[in-house]
Amino acid sequence: MEPNFPFEIAEATSSHEAEIIDFLLSDFLGREPLNEALDLRPMQCKEFFQYLIHKGVTSKQSLVIRDANGKLIATQIASILERQANDQENNNSQDQIKLEGEIRKIAGLLEKLDEQIWTTVPLEVTRLFYIMIISVSSHFERRGIANRLMANAVQQAQNTRCHGILAEATAYNSQKLFEKCGFTVLYEVKHSDYLDETGKRIIHCRDQTDSAQLVFKKV
């Protein structure tokens, strides 16, 4: 721990996966605008979270933050993406898992952003530090933790020879955080344009969130 940051930061490993899933299901799930809009329940999200978390810890780029008592209070789930020979090819596909129900609606929205990654990042960028989730406990907000995770992401990106940081910002507050940290919006899907097969809008958030954004920062 540091005097001006009284929390412990460590790499997330496979031994932390179950703990991180429990943290996200108990805290992040109910506060994330898309989850709230679709009234998602833990069992509907668990498989999707497991997939993201396993991908993140396997890449060795994810972090956990604990308080003085060792309790998990924040996490960053991240991985590395590399441009393929065909820049249309997407190596961030969620096809490895089959999702059903309401969570599929969120995955479908994220896929629309995924499809634009290598067509919107600068051509000289071939390696990205990709932030999948940043979550801070509701009891520890406004303590500089999210900003610290963002600063760490820049350092991690540089250490892993990435040319930039990429994230999919699906909540109004996270969009503002990324904007504050110098990210630019590469692509945006307005909720009013995300429709089902009958032409009906799928997502109506209860806060100011009205879009999903693909955001980028060069390092």
148-180 tens-digit pLDDT = 999 999 999 999 999 999 999 999 999 999 999
Specify if 90 maps to a domain.
yes
**pLDDT, tens digit, for every residue of 57-68?**
999 999 999 999
In a domain, 2, yes or no: no
Of 89, 93, 98, which is closest to residue 79 (Cα–Cα)?
93
Q: Does any domain span residue 3?
A: no
Residue 175 falls inside a structural domain = yes
Give the CB-side neighbour count of residue 52, counting CA atoms within 13 A: 20
Which structure tokens are listed for 40? 């998602």
- Domain count of the chain? 1
**What is the 8-class DSSP label of residue 2?**
B
Q: What is the pTM of this model?
A: 0.91
Give, in order, the Cα–Cα distances in Å from 70 to each of 67, 73, 148, 161. 5, 9, 18, 32
Query: Which domain range does residue 32 map to?
Result: 8-218
Residue 126 covered by a domain? yes
CATH number of the domain that 103 lies in?
A: 3.40.630.30
Interior angle at CA 109, CA 103 and CA 110, nearest 5: 90
